[in-house]
Amino acid sequence: MLSNLPATAFALSIDIYPNPVNDYAFLNFYLDSPKNLQIVLMSMNGIQRTLSSRQYDAGENVVNLDFSDKNTGIYLLVIFENGNIIYSKKIVKF
């Protein structure tokens, strides 16, 4: 099972708020250099949805996460760089 990987693996700081989430959450992270990242939301029954796949600039980045069409439950937010998981966090949707 995936666990929360340390933020220092790719970013100086990471914050997801609010958590639990109703309709929208924000992923806020600071990068020391530009990075190509893929942000994926995984449901507990294995359904994956790519939320974003692009290059993020060095400095502060904020990503709006839309949960309005998601069912109540537990999800994993997973961030990949070059196909490798560099961060994961459990998010509760109510």
With respect to residue 14, please indicate whether it lies within any of the assigned structural domains: yes
Closest residue by Cα to residue 34 from 59, 10, 13, 57:
57
Is 51 within the bounds of a domain? yes
d(CA 23, CA 70): 8
**Domain count along the chain:** 1
* pLDDT tens, the chain, 94 aa long: 444 555 445 666 899 999 999 999 999 999 989 999 999 999 999 999 999 999 999 999 999 999 999 999 999 999 999 999 999 999 999 9
Can you give the pLDDT at residue 13?
81
Q: Residue 63 sits in a domain of what CATH number?
A: 2.60.40.1930
Residue 1 domain flag: no
Parent domain of 74: 7-93
Q: How far is CA 77 from CA 12, 38, in A?
A: 18, 10
Residue 2 in any domain: the answer is no
